[in-house]
Amino acid sequence: MGIPLAHKDIFCTRGLRTTCGSKMLSNFVSPYDATVVRRLQEAGTVSLGKLNMDEFAMGSSNETSYFGPVRNPWNLGCVPGGSSGGSAAAVAARLIPAATGTDTGGSIRQPAAFCGITGLKPTYGRVSRYGMIAFASSLDQGGPMARSAADCALLMDAMAGHDPLDSTSHPQGGGRFSAALGRSLQGLRVGVPAEFFGAGLDPEVAQTVETAIQWFAAQGAEIHPVHLPHNAHAVSTYYVLAPAEASSNLSRFDGVRYTHRSAAAKDLQELYLQSRYEGFGAEVRRRILVGTYVLSAGYYDAYYRKAQQVRALIREDFRRAFAEVDVIMGPTTPTPAFALGAKSADPVSMYLADIYTIAVNLAGIPALSLPCGFSKEGLPIGLQIMGDYFADELLLGVAAAYQRDTDWHRRAPAWEEQ
């Protein structure tokens, strides 16, 4: 028998339901495996099943699933983060040693931070998107979630690599990620952006992350200030581009073929409308409406085109920063995990939970979150490490060095007693 793991329910798995956490796909059984699923099977892993998620990966708390919310194993009254919250919670609770996740605007890193595990969002194109149900095609990227960077590297050895079935797959996407784990930190140039330590950051998170960064300095790394001036516009840019792509991708779910079909429709037009209204939850409908609006003839230039221009500026910010440093470090999230229902009635507040993660997806660069401490309430705090294109191995090596000298990633919640 091989290593057991489980898959986020966004990866198609032959013979099993693949629901994307939605009523729309609640009875869909995939006839094929996603490339990620197939490669991990070929490497000898054993799948234990599928993991809950925000509906169609749209959410930052794992509360939008048709099947109900996921709870954080460190505190069952708190969210695990989203959209890969089921994956993060299962690994944190020691139900499985590893899981797959997807990251469109922070959906691997944010739940990894909230649940005290390690999660890597790879460089866009290094992990195949074939068989991964699309939310926003230019942003989505699959990746590993596990207790440690070393475990994530082993998963990447199997997951990554060019896939002719995926037009966005990079021809040189593969690599030996586990071979990068023994690197020295001497002379590593670490950039710290002031924009990640301003208003809105919980003081406890700031102090914990700063302590972790000073550990790297004590090992011989050089700490440099860097600037990412357009990060302030990342959330608004993302919530134009991602819904626009979602409105296009989700148009295929119309009640005609393999999705939920309304029994109340009287004609074809009503079948489309009623099936989509019944099948999609409130957050998905909200994003489809926003996306359709910004792509409409009268507003395309004012919103979508402008957002693409800002996206280019965000990429340029990172290009300039990585000309001076090897990695960038900062908090993964502005706060530890928040209470279930605390942000459900305030979508904007929910969206701001991803303020430090979204720019990475807009730029297409790799980033990793690993645990670096706990709040006074006993909730995990995550350190985010970002790298230049195809610096995934470097990030895993840097994270593994930190985890060889600390035990935050080894701590497990006493969830059985809650």
Catalytic annotation, residues: 8, 83, 107
Of residues 291, 331, 283, 314, the one with CA closest to residue 60:
283
The string of DSSP codes covering 8-58 is ETTB--TTSB--TT-GGGTT-B-SS--HHHHHHHHTT-EEEEEE--SGGG-
Chain centre to alpha carbon of residue 235? 15
Cα→Cα distances 229→2, 79, 371, Å: 46, 30, 26
Q: Is 128 helix (H, G, I), strand (E, B) or coil?
A: coil
Beta carbons of 24 and 257 less than 8 angstroms apart: no
Distance CA 133, CA 390 (A): 24
Beta carbons of 294 and 243 less than 8 angstroms apart: yes
Element (H, E) at 298: none
The string of DSSP codes covering 308-362 is HHHHHHHHHHHHHHHTT-SEEEEESSSSSPPBTTSSTT-HHHHHGGGTTTHHHHH
CB atoms inside a 10 Å sphere around CB 264: 10
Cα→Cα distances 139→84, 107, 126, 246, 406, Å: 15, 11, 13, 11, 32
